[in-house]
Amino acid sequence: MLHLVTGAAGFIGYHLTKRLLDRGDEVVGIDSLNDYYDPELKHERLADLGIPREESESWGHEARSGRYPGLVFRRMRLEDRAAMEALFAAHAFDRVINLAAQAGVRYSLENPRAYVESNIVGFLEVLEACRAAGTPHLVYASSSSVYGLNATRPFSVHGHADHPVSLYAATKRADELMAHSYSHLYGMPTTGLRFFTVYGPLGRPDMAYYKFAEAIMAGRSIDVYNGGDMLRDFTYVDDIIEGVVRVIDRPPVPDPSWDPAAPDPASSSAPCRVYNIGNNRPERLGRFIEVLEASLGAKAEKRFLPMQPGDVYATEADVDDLLRDFGWKPTTTIEEGLERFSAWFKGRRKAQAAAASAGLAPSA
């Protein structure tokens, strides 16, 4: 099958693209390669996929992978309507997986317009392109952040997600509502996936675990919010990818038992579904740091700070629907996941040091 993966140079997008190619599918990957975090890591991911840097940086140019015959990459923005229309005119996609977004809870306090442009306007262009093309299944990334002030744990897709505490969360919830309206109006199958605190190799440098690792290895202090007394459902990236792949292959159908007099937020009379993908085992932040220290082989100097605006105390995924419909749920422990991340992280630091000493640019 031919898949469009938006955000293909991003953390989850890179891993998903690699998984789809390894199983024999074809992928058109797009990404704006913005500088929200160091674009160098995005180029490293693309290099591992066989996309030459000199070709990936040209806007609108379709670069072909030298490693995977089934992969082409195009630098573009979702909110560029003309570029989206041209992309869908050039390719007949069997599946569209929208992972491109302006990420980050705290950054949304500083630059709110970026979230509306990418997460709202950009997602609208995705919906419109899929509608016009009759795309058989649109899968898109949502977030555990949508649960906001809902303190009922574990977070269930059957519960409420109407009180977001950051603009980032609000835009992700808006995406879910927009997708439902398109499913209802046009019969377009859409599936939203609420990811819970994803971590792993080639991850995002703006995420806490990555910042911790950098600071620990450099001998700097780390900022620990709320004294480390926060619970997060840390989910290893391979588990996220397994869940996405299983969902991709099964477009939703209308739920014949859905009752408008007692509406269930998790299903619909339209071909629309939402699922949590989380480890279903929340860990205290303090313990997560201890496991990271052990896997890195170094201790952290901690600077304790109060809870930050936009943060919530705890996240915990109810994955019963995922298990019921797909016979699977995440299984990777933080001990396993952080060991793999740390091995990659230390290897990357070593490669960067060697490249710097030789006067070379870093490589993947």
Helix crossing, 81-90 with 122-133: angle to 10°? Answer: 30
Distance CA 364, CA 358 (A): 16
Is-catalytic flag, 209? Answer: no
Given the residues 68, 168, 182, 210, select the one marked as catalytic: 168
Q: Which residues contact 204 (CB under 8 A, 6 or more apart)?
A: 10, 11, 37, 103, 210
Helices (H), ranges, the chain = 11-22, 39-48, 53-56, 81-90, 107-110, 112-115, 122-133, 167-186, 208-218, 237-248, 285-296, 320-326, 334-357
List the structure tokens of 290: 């201890």
The two beta strands, 71-75 and 62-64, are: antiparallel
Q: Are 126 and 140 in contact (CB under 8 A)?
A: yes
Q: What are phi and psi of 144, to 5 degrees?
A: -65, -15
Q: Name the strand (E) or helix (H) holding 71.
A: strand 71-75
Q: Are 238 and 15 in contact (CB under 8 A)?
A: yes
Residue 164's nearest CA partner among 180, 181, 178, 150 is: 150
Amino acid at 256: P
Distance CA 119, CA 171 (A): 6
- Catalogue the active-site residues: 168
